[in-house]
Amino acid sequence: MAWPLWLSSATFLMMLFTTDAITTALGPPPAVMYKNGIGLEQGGVLPGGVIYGRLLVSSNDPRVTNGVQGPVYRTVCDAHDFSNNEAETMCTLLGFGFGRKYYGSDATGRPGTTGRPVSHLICHNETSTHRRSLMGADDREGSSYSRQQGHSRTLTELSAYVNLPKSSGFVCTIDTVSTCPAIAPLAAVQCSNKPLPPEPSPPPSSPTAPPPKSSYLRMYGGNGYYDGTRLERNICNKTLNEDCRYWGRVEVQVAGAGGKPVWAPLCAPKSTLRMDIEQLVCLQMYDWDPVADRLRGVLSGYSSTPISIPSGKFVSKAGNFNPAQYTRWATVIGGNITTANKIQDLQLKVTAARCSTGAMLAVHCSMLVAD
């Protein structure tokens, strides 16, 4: 009997010895493959030999392995933040030439999963020129768990490395803090060595799955060395006190022209509101539920000297913060912080004019963990 190469011998044995598997073997075969610290489970083969499956990423980080000798494989939350780009990278790591997201609930659903899914999978190509530049060489150590036992840890330190071989050319991190909303699907990919057929019309989005609160807010810098999310060079750079890298700026989704959603920088508010807002930003950013997540630690937000909105002819230079690219700016002017779940639940003043204070809110999130 010819088994596809990607069907591991472990699966083969499972299929021989578990009646459950024998019954399900009548349907699509359970595709299992592992390569470069990435895995696929709960999948199969689509027409044209396209392999699909629920994504697994491995890590040796004790916060992922729960202290067990690693690596341990975990599923990945897709709270509207797992993109086709990352799916393609995952397929590259699995040894395929092409790849994108897979939306079928047979792979994105939770049945048969164990452990908490990890969130915010971010990868960068280490050989590309767009490398993290502001952060020092000690960033990797900065994320090491052992140095941080028993203290308040910044969320930078709470992200963990995916266990990839150096030769893969990629560095990927996962966030071990965020809660994956129960309604969010898990990340799944489809991979092939031939170009994939055109994507069928927009995948149906489940009406029972409203986006998590984190999808209405984004943060640049302040919580990581991630290329894509660090502060722009004209806001935070080596000529300044490097402390600036610990403070992030925030954008909130608001209604723009014609009601179309746009991202608006969050302005520094009146000082009386600042503490409430910095806390809410962090709870929203990490989909934190203060009640359900209380056993995991205490997530706190802090703010600092607001970030001045840069001006001058260099704002349009690549890598710089350019105020002209924003049509809306948002300032919190009131609301009830006790009942608010997200910044948008507060009273927001949205203007086409830039922050009246000339500055944006600077936030840092951190978590106190009980050891």
Q: Is 170 helix (H, G, I), strand (E, B) or coil?
A: strand
Instruction: Rule CB under 6 A: choose which of 169, 211, 256, 323 binds ligand NAG.
Output: 169
Assign 164 to helix, strand or coil.
coil
Interatomic CA distance for residues 358 and 323, integer angstroms? 11
d(CA 148, CA 142): 9
What is the SS3 assignment for 343?
Answer: helix
CA distance linking residue 254 with residue 133, whole number of Å? 31
Residue 248, beta-bridge partner list: 363
Residues 138-157 that bind ligand NAG (CB under 6 A): none
Question: Smallest distance from the beta carbon of 266 to ligand NAG, in angstroms?
Answer: 18
Q: 3-state class of 275 per DSSP?
A: helix
If we measure between CA atoms, which residue out of 275, 273, 222, 276 comes closest to residue 251?
222
- Identity of the residue, 112 or 358, whose beta carbon is nearer to ligand NAG in the bound complex: 358
Contact between 237 and ligand NAG by CB under 6 A: the answer reads yes
Told to check if 23 binds ligand NAG by CB under 6 A, we report no
User: Which of these segments, 29-37, 125-133, 184-192, 347-355, binds ligand NAG (CB under 6 A)?
Assistant: 125-133
* Contact window for ligand NAG (CB under 6 A) among 99-107, 141-149, 176-184, 229-237: 229-237
Residue from 339, 353, 370, 371 touching ligand NAG (CB under 6 A): that is 339
Least separation in angstroms between CB 282 and ligand NAG: 20
Q: Identify the H or E element spanning 100.
A: strand 98-101
Q: Applying CB under 6 A, which of residues 153, 233, 245, 274 lies at the interface with ligand NAG?
A: 233
For the record, the structure tokens of 59 come out as: 């890590």
Interatomic CA distance for residues 123 and 89, integer angstroms = 8
357 lies in the binding site for ligand NAG (CB under 6 A):
no
Binding residue for ligand NAG, selected from 9, 66, 114, 127, defined by CB under 6 A: 127
Residue 101 makes contact with ligand NAG by CB under 6 A: no
Side by side, which strands form the sheet with 152-154? 152-154, 363-368, 298-303
336 binds ligand NAG (CB under 6 A): yes
Binding ligand NAG (rule: CB under 6 A), the pick from 84, 128, 133, 205 is 128
- 135: closest CA among 249, 63, 223, 251? 223
Strand partners, 123: 172
| Contact between 234 and ligand NAG per CB under 6 A | yes
**Contact window for ligand NAG (CB under 6 A) among 9-17, 296-304, 331-339, 345-353:** 331-339
Residue (336 or 356) nearer to ligand NAG, CB: 336
Q: Using an 8 Å Cβ cutoff, are 160 and 173 in contact?
A: yes
For ligand NAG, which residue of 239, 241, 272, 325 counts as binding (CB under 6 A)? Answer: 239
* In the complex, least distance from residue 287 CB atom to ligand NAG, rounded to whole angstroms: 22
Instruction: Give least dist CB 316 to ligand NAG, A.
Output: 12
97-105, 108-116, 134-142, 228-236 -> range binding ligand NAG (CB under 6 A)? 228-236
Residue 88 Cβ vs ligand NAG, minimum distance, rounded to whole Å: 9
Binding part of the chain for ligand NAG, among 68-76, 97-105, 231-239, 288-296 by CB under 6 A, reads 231-239
Q: Helix (H, G, I), strand (E, B), or coil: what is residue 256? A: coil
Is residue 235 at the binding interface for ligand NAG, with CB under 6 A as the rule? yes
Binding flag, residue 85, ligand NAG (CB under 6 A): no
- Cβ atoms of 209 and 129 within 8 Å: the answer is no
State yes or no: residue 229 binds ligand NAG (CB under 6 A): no
Listing DSSP states for 54-84 in one string gives EEEEEE--HHHHTTSSS-EEEEBB-SS---H
How far apart, in whole angstroms, are the C-alpha atoms of residue 215 and residue 82? Answer: 12
- The dihedral through the CA atoms of 185, 5, 165, 73 has a sign that is positive
Count of residues of this chain found to bind ligand NAG when the rule CB under 6 A is applied:
15
Question: What is the binding site for ligand NAG (CB under 6 A)?
Answer: 92, 125, 127-128, 169, 233-235, 237, 239-240, 310, 336, 338-339
